[in-house]
Amino acid sequence: MPAVLRLLARRLGISLIVLAGVSMLIFGIARVIPGDPARIALGPNATGEQVAGLRQALHLDDPVAVQYGHFVADLLRGDLGVSLYTNRPVTLDIAQFLPATLELVLFAGVLMVGIGLPLGMWSASQRGRWPDHLIRVVSLLGVSAPSFVWAVMLMLMFAFFLPVFPIAGRITDSFEITRVTGFLLIDTLLAGNGAAFVDALRHIFLPAFALAVSGIGQAARLTRANMVETYDRPYIEMARAYGFPAGRIAAKYAFKPSLIPSLTIIGLDFAAMLGNAFLVEAVFAWPGLSRYGVAVILRKDLNAIIGTVLIISATFLIVNLIVDLLIAFLNPRIRHSERGAR
Amino acid sequence: MKLLKTTLAIGLSAATALAAPAIAGGTLRLDEVAVGELDPAKASDYADSILMFNVYDTLVLPVQGGPGHAPHLAESWESDGNSFTFTLRDDVNFQSGNPLTADDVVFSLERMKALGAGLSYLFGVVESAEATAPSTVRFNLSSPYAPFVASLVRLPIVDRKLVMENLGEGDGEMGDWGQAFLSANGGGTGAYRVVSHNPQEETVMEKNRDYFLDIAEAAPDTVRLRYGLEASTVRTLIATGEHDISSQWLPPEVMGALAREGAQLFTESGTGAFYLKMNTTKPPLDDVNCRRALSAAFDYQTAIRMIAITEDVSAGSPSTGAIPVGMFGANDGSMVQVQDLDGAREYLAACGHDPAEMDIEISWIAEVPLEERFALLFQSNLAEIGVKSHIRKLPWALFSEQVSKPENTPHISQLFVNAVTGDPDTLLYGMYHSSTPGTWQSPEYLSDARVDEYLDAGRNASATDAREEAYSILNARLMEIAPTIYGYDRQSVFAASDRVRAPALSDPAYAFGLDGMGFSFRLMEVAED
């Protein structure tokens, strides 16, 4: 079996164990959060009988182990139960809200890589000059302020004082786009509606940028630091001595070895954005899964909490798996160490 | 660089022009914090009420600008105390095209009682309902219940035939009673029909052109009820003309800022109040003089200043007693409560507990940050009369669990309580009757035979005068035994753009006196863009 496939199989096995652990952990934690989910769901005016009836219907009076058994049996049938927050099947909610968050996070990821890495490269190549200093200060600023601060500031600057971007939602109400993938940037293109695509792009830009700012700063700083270290290596000196162009040295000999640690951090940042997205989603009224996750936690909507956490965990694991594979692809020593480990 | 800037500017302008079509005329955009529940049998909070009052109709409606109720889906009604017989209009159709019949009314009641959610407890007194003719329905009550007609504003009539065609899986013959269907679709006779419902985003409604009453041309053609917008987002949206009416939950500072920038402020009042509820079973508040001391020490005037939005509009008005001004039995508007520190010290001296040993626990609900300010105010008021206190932040879920036992209930619980039907019975019975202790509404754990007697009299008397007298005496008794500090009469305030007219939210002569009913879209007017 090729080394990469072995790596993949091993990581998939570990991921399944992690998911099972997460499900047990979140199942337990959700049940010790203060408050009665039935009471919260039915509202303050519900009578004791109404609350008792709903508790019975939700098996909340059974021992936790029995409740977990019900949960696993339903999960294996693809049923995550009904959300007490939206009164709809949790699977339907996730199917509706997950694409919005994934689209936002993926677009933010593109911005993070597309802006952060070039900035880091440029900063390293301009070491000690004013562009380097400027990029380092801006990167530090990006890393040190949380994404919701950027969200509010960007909204004020580019939607309120200079109204060039829309403030809320994913697309202007008047566009009626058939949802195929749930990713509006793709669905608008599939519908052949250029105006709607531009509109969706304008809607996603500010929230995605707010979400990505910290990651951009992180990627730029890390790439710069790694490249600066690489620039001091003898083989770079040799390349310079041979008279290779600076661009070729940067892209081919300095950047590739510096990419591996950056890629690890980018993978972690990408996963962290899934969790951080709720603040940005709240500010820009982005109808995504992160915002849904927070809403259901506040209402102690047990089925929805577990469903959301499982999906976010699964996405986290998938992203990490992809990053691991990329790193293995870039660095043969890791592939070989897997073989050795076997 | 200059070429790049120019290209970017042109590109952005072109994209903006290309991608931002004009908003269709007559669209009303408003928001609510909580997701609106579309199933009318489960409706309980403000967003649910807005949906219910527009997608569904009820047999009666509160009279605008005055007391009592007027026929709506019903043409008339009569009562012998234990039963109420309603004759329905014969010109009403559901949005599906099905005609309204007495069977629909019976079905709506049975469905609400079977689901046992929302405000179904209001109809616990109804033993049975029967269609005595195609357009006549009789409700048989287990005992006289004067607020029954008022309760009917919470019995939306659903389309029986449509629901029966869309029953989902469930136990018994009725399956899920159409819950899955009505949680995503409309099934009423209302002036607005549901176009789409996304719990995470918005509910879109459009004008029902076949409504049985006239709807003004200027009433919004389309309504977008958005959910869960942040205060900063709402502020920006209204300022840029992309939103029309805010929820009532914007911080007063944001409301004030919008008002200064030219936004209108709509109001809805007369159904509830802000209370500091005292646990009458816990020393030292088991002594009436201690409770009176705390009531006299509270700084009512500062509380009113804290909720002022502009010089003219406030989120509340001074309290005159236990019953908000505008309800049966309320004191005259001039009898406002004021802080009396000397009186407080005298009551404290008469209290059977040593003030030096007191440590009053003042709780506030974590989800309502405004309450923290009142907790701090009250703490400083108590310090002025030499009483020690400490403040405790309680999430709602924890609070509602703790109040189920008197020993776990804090000394002071701060709460906003509304009468869900506009009748004082639905405000006071659950708070003070000795048969209903230990709920979120009744952390006082009051047990007073005279209070019970007056509450029962107000509930059972059929004549309006007799009810008013019962509640007046009750009001006086509650002031005497002071189970609660009546902070202020609550007023909901909404910031709105100048393209909206809503007489029910701006002119007392058109106000309904029922939470959410001011948002009857058919009575609003929206300027075209």
Domain residue spans in chain B? 27-245+497-526, 270-491
Q: Where are the domains of chain A?
A: 90-298
Mean local confidence (pLDDT), A212-241: 89
Looking at beta carbons, which residues of chain B come within 8 Å of A174?
21, 23-24
Burial of residue B132, with CB atoms counted within 10 A of its CB: 0-12 exposed, 13-18 middle, 19 or more buried: exposed
pLDDT number for residue A45:
66
Whether the bond between B443 and the residue before it is cis, its omega within 30 degrees of 0, is no
CA dihedral B311, B316, B320, B322 (to 10 degrees): -170
Looking at beta carbons, which residues of chain B come within 8 Å of A175?
21
Res. B171 pLDDT band, cuts 50 70 90 = confident
**CA nearest neighbour of A202 among B200, B21, B196, B233:** B21
pLDDT number for residue B353:
95
Return the CATH number of the domain spanning residue range B270-491. 3.10.105.10
Select from B233, B237, B429 the residue whose CB has the most chain A CBs within 10 Å, as the one to mutate to test that interface.
Answer: B233
pLDDT number for residue B164:
96
Confidence check: pLDDT of B521 > 90: yes
Residue B297 — φ and ψ, nearest 5°?
A: -80, -25
Return the CATH number of the domain spanning residue range B27-245+497-526. 3.40.190.10
pLDDT number for residue A37:
78
Confidence check: pLDDT of A209 > 90: yes
Res. B6 pLDDT band, cuts 50 70 90 = very low
Confidence check: pLDDT of B3 > 50: no
Burial of residue A191, with CB atoms counted within 10 A of its CB: 0-12 exposed, 13-18 middle, 19 or more buried: middle
Res. B36 pLDDT band, cuts 50 70 90 = confident
Which of A43, A53, A167 faces B242 most closely, judged by CB atoms?
A167
Q: Which residues contact B104 (CB under 8 A, 6 or more apart)?
A: B94, B157, B158, B159, B160
pLDDT (tens digit per residue) in A301-338: 888 998 999 998 888 888 888 888 888 777 776 666 65
Confidence check: pLDDT of B13 > 70: no
> B401 with B415: CB under 8 angstroms?
no
d(CA B258, CA B498): 11
**Tokens for B433?**
């009757």
pLDDT number for residue A269:
82
**Mean pLDDT score of chain A:** 85
Residue identified by tokens 């159409």 is B178
What residues 432-461 of chain B have any CB closer than 8 A to a CB of chain A? 440-441
A282 to B230: CB separation less than 8 angstroms, yes or no: yes
Select from B30, B49, B200, B439 the residue whose CB has the most chain A CBs within 10 Å, as the one to mutate to test that interface.
Answer: B200
**Tokens for A29?**
């934690």
pLDDT (tens digit per residue) in B407-447: 999 999 999 998 888 889 999 999 999 988 888 889 999 99
pLDDT number for residue A254:
83
Beta-strand ranges (E) seen in B164-300 are: 192-198, 202-207, 222-227, 264-278
> A99 with A315: CB under 8 angstroms?
no
pLDDT number for residue B357:
93
Would you say domain A90-298 falls under CATH 2.60.40.1530?
Answer: no
CB atoms within 10 A of CB B190: 27
Of the two residues A14 and A258, the one the predictor is more confident about is A14
Confidence check: pLDDT of B232 > 80: yes
Q: Where are the alpha helices (DSSP H) in A232-301?
A: 234-242, 246-248, 256-283, 289-298
Q: Give, in order, the Cα–Cα distances in Å from B521 to each of A109, B29, B30.
A: 43, 11, 11
**Which three-class secondary structure state does DSSP give residue B387?**
coil
Res. B23 pLDDT band, cuts 50 70 90 = very low
**What percent of chain A clears pLDDT 70, i.e. is strictly above it?**
96
Where is mean pLDDT largest: A33-42, A171-180, B467-476?
B467-476
Confidence check: pLDDT of B22 > 70: no
Confidence check: pLDDT of A77 > 90: no
Looking at beta carbons, which residues of chain B come within 8 Å of A164?
12, 16
> B240 with A163: CB under 8 angstroms?
yes
pLDDT (tens digit per residue) in B99-123: 999 999 999 999 999 888 788 888 9
| Amino acid of residue B152 | L
pLDDT number for residue B440:
86
pLDDT number for residue A336:
61
Confidence check: pLDDT of B370 > 70: yes
